[in-house]
Structure 1
Amino acid sequence: MKSRLTTTKNLLCGIAVLISLTVSAQTGIKIEHKPEQPIKEKTGNQYSLNFDFIIQNNSADTLRLTRLEVRLLDKNNILLQQKFLDNNGTAPSINTIPENQWNGVSKSLLFNPFPEINSVTDKLEYTFTFNDKIEIKETIIPKEYIQNQDFILPLKKKFLVYDGHDFNSHHRRFNYEFPFISELGFSGNFMRYAYDFVVLNSENKQFSNKGEDNTEWFGFSNEVVAVSDGEIIAIETNQKDNKTFDVPSLKDNPLALYGNYVVIKHGNEVYSMYGHLKNQSSTHFKIGDKIKKGQLIGLIGTSGSSFFPHLHFEIRNSINHKAEGIPSYFSNYSLILGSVKQEVKKGTVNTGDIIQSK
């Protein structure tokens, strides 16, 4: 009898310890999302969600994310879709999240791995499961982005969307929680909806010969135009076309990444950024100048953090270290599909697209 009581007591103590550890770990986990108001960006016939989770372990326990589930609900709270990543199989899908373990007190960024949603999605319910037993829920209520300005494309030539802001794009995967980046002062993804545009010739080639010289690229020195009316609020034109920049200077000037640039304000918290412009190609402009849609504002160069001649373009809500990118919809262009031209009255462009401005 004593042995049975001892066993029962030990079992109850074990359960109590397990519950205590679970509660302790659960209360030690903090999950938030950025930006605070996630945006629904219309891409073709569906929508995309471009936001991040910041996961912080405030306990001494080692935590491993073993499952992440999302439930998509309509405005009547009816389930539309359910998706998940877990640790099942020989190559578990949860491992597509590179940082899924927290060894004691630590914090890391997780890019939302379920970006595509259908048009009637009103709410998303995420369930994070740690160590196969600790569940934390996070609800996301996205808001559809309404663009009040009419934008044209910033290039007049045929071009390749070399990199956009899809899930695999380097613009999308800017980790502002990475210590080196956060120490420079960044606390948001200013290029969350950015593009790199590369001009093509008639054969859809980007350069001649080996492309080792700037002048071998068909886009080098090509005209860059303003996407809409506005006012210049930031400008740099003295940087050389040598693909370098002073990294520490980002602490004082977060725009230094782009070498030569022009930033135009189009409305409240709506700024267009044109980066990696050619040296001295915007010298006739200054802060405060009024700009018209389609006006020449600079030439394509290789200044700043640029591997080759291209235009970096983005719409953002400010020019400081807290800046967040916002979507951009363009009017009247053609999507080139081989010998077929698909006319677009208004829409987004995507990584890999070949586009012809009108």
Structure 2
Amino acid sequence: MKSSIKLFLAAVSLTSWFANAQQVVIKPKPEQPIIENGEYNNYLNFDFIISNTTKDTLTLTRLEVQLFDKNNRLIQQKFLDNNGTAPSINTIPEKQWNGVSESLIFNPFHEIHNLTEKLEYTFTFNNSVEVKKTVIPVHYKQSVAFSLPLKSKLLVYDGHDFYSHHRRFNYEFSPIKQLGFKGNFMRYAYDFVILNEDGKQFKGNGEENTDWYGFGSDVLAVADGEIIALETNQKDDKSFDIPSLKTNPLALYGNYVVIRHADGVYSMYGHLKQQSTAALQKGLKVKKGQKIGQIGTSGSSFFPHLHFEIRNNTNHDAEGLPSYFDNYTLFLGSTKKDMKRGGINTGDILQSK
């Protein structure tokens, strides 16, 4: 009798496990993540949207990924779990789904081997419910040659590495979702700050816009194209109208210019100085290296800098795209490295040649 009861309970448990697994929906966003080529590693910059359609509370207790090559042979295996006094799974901030709910987690395995063609993720909830998801990334091929948008020596104050605020834009966060956003338009963005000869960003305490060496510096088009959106009347006061984002997602950047270079390839220059784009208009054709504005501190800007990104459209569902730049110098302490084309990221010090 006891044996029969154990078998019955095991069958019930297995049925419950299978039902819960079937009711957890996991979608990668973008559906086909882009493999970005770095100086030393390749990177995957994407998110998972996880929907719990059950009434049960589910907690992510383990996440594993297996990397496979083009012959479907295993390259690497990595995981986060509950082991130890400071479990690695805790590096994922949102791990619990209370009943019917949906939320986003950022793919934590952002560095990948350059032979990777497929990734197999296994999500384990409540130490028992397993959900598997296959991700097929694509190698990004930049169709347009870009130069840096600034001539002076500059610091990539914030790029799009795993810890950057550009990378960690949670469009599933309720206040952001209510504004209409459906994707991460700044997934591969940069904040550029100009440096003086001593590598300083500002003089004095930096409280005034004019304390910053980059304030008012010329911003240049990174490639030939056509201006399809711009704003020039916002003050350099580090503020913007949040509700206006419902109708204009670009309002975040205060004064801005958007240039279309090819189908689905747009460059966006944000936080520009008031009236610095007054001579421009929509429909104007511009050339690579042409002045299109000046660094300011309009919109959601804490200090004078240029926000730059490549994106696939100007709508609420826009997704960011990687960008590689031609002919610049990378400063590495007392040494320099001349780059014909390369990717850049947080902390890099550069200058266009």
Please say whether Structure 1 and Structure 2 have the same fold, judged by a TM-score greater than 0.5.
yes
Once the two structures are superposed, the pairs formed by residues 1-358 of structure 1 within 5 Å of their partners are: 5=1, 7-358=2-353
SS of residue in 2 equivalent to 1:126: strand
Identity of aligned residues (%): 66
With 226-235 and 132-141 compared, the bigger mean Cα shift is at: 132-141
What RMSD in Å do the two structures reach over aligned CA positions? 0.8
SS of residue in 1 equivalent to 2:105: strand
How far does residue 19 in structure 1 lie from its aligned partner after superposition?
Answer: 1.8
SS of residue in 2 equivalent to 1:13: helix
TM-score, with normalisation over the residues of structure 1? Answer: 0.97
How far does residue 260 in structure 1 lie from its aligned partner after superposition?
Answer: 0.1
Q: Output the amino acid matched with 1:244.
A: S
Alignment coverage as a number of residue pairs: 353
SS of residue in 1 equivalent to 2:193: strand
Q: Output the amino acid matched with 2:315.
A: N
Q: Output the amino acid matched with 1:315.
A: I
SS of residue in 1 equivalent to 2:19: helix
Q: Output the amino acid matched with 1:54.
A: I
SS of residue in 2 equivalent to 1:255: helix
User: Matched residues in 2 for 1:349 and 1:24: separation?
Assistant: 45
Gaps of 5+ in 2: none
User: Matched residues in 2 for 1:114 and 1:17: separation?
Assistant: 35
User: Matched residues in 1 for 2:334 and 2:122: separation?
Assistant: 46
TM-score, with normalisation over the residues of structure 2? Answer: 0.99
User: Matched residues in 2 for 1:173 and 1:354: separation?
Assistant: 23
User: Matched residues in 2 for 1:68 and 1:177: separation?
Assistant: 20
Q: Output the amino acid matched with 1:40.
A: I
User: Matched residues in 2 for 1:146 and 1:12: separation?
Assistant: 55
How far does residue 37 in structure 1 lie from its aligned partner after superposition?
Answer: 1.7
How far does residue 62 in structure 1 lie from its aligned partner after superposition?
Answer: 1.2
> Based on CA coordinates, which of the two structures has the bigger radius of gyration?
1
Q: Name segments (4+ residues, structure 1) moved above 2 Å.
A: 7-13
User: Matched residues in 1 for 2:41 and 2:331: separation?
Assistant: 21
Q: Output the amino acid matched with 2:141.
A: I
SS of residue in 1 equivalent to 2:214: coil
User: Matched residues in 2 for 1:273 and 1:324: separation?
Assistant: 12
SS of residue in 2 equivalent to 1:135: strand
SS of residue in 2 equivalent to 1:24: helix
User: Matched residues in 2 for 1:72 and 1:8: separation?
Assistant: 41
Gaps of 5+ in 1: none
How far does residue 76 in structure 1 lie from its aligned partner after superposition?
Answer: 0.5
Q: Output the amino acid matched with 1:248.
A: P
Q: Output the amino acid matched with 2:173.
A: F
With 33-42 and 248-257 compared, the bigger mean Cα shift is at: 33-42
How far does residue 356 in structure 1 lie from its aligned partner after superposition?
Answer: 1.2
How far does residue 20 in structure 1 lie from its aligned partner after superposition?
Answer: 2.6
Q: Output the amino acid matched with 1:25.
A: N
How far does residue 338 in structure 1 lie from its aligned partner after superposition?
Answer: 2.0
SS of residue in 1 equivalent to 2:89: helix
How far does residue 135 in structure 1 lie from its aligned partner after superposition?
Answer: 1.1
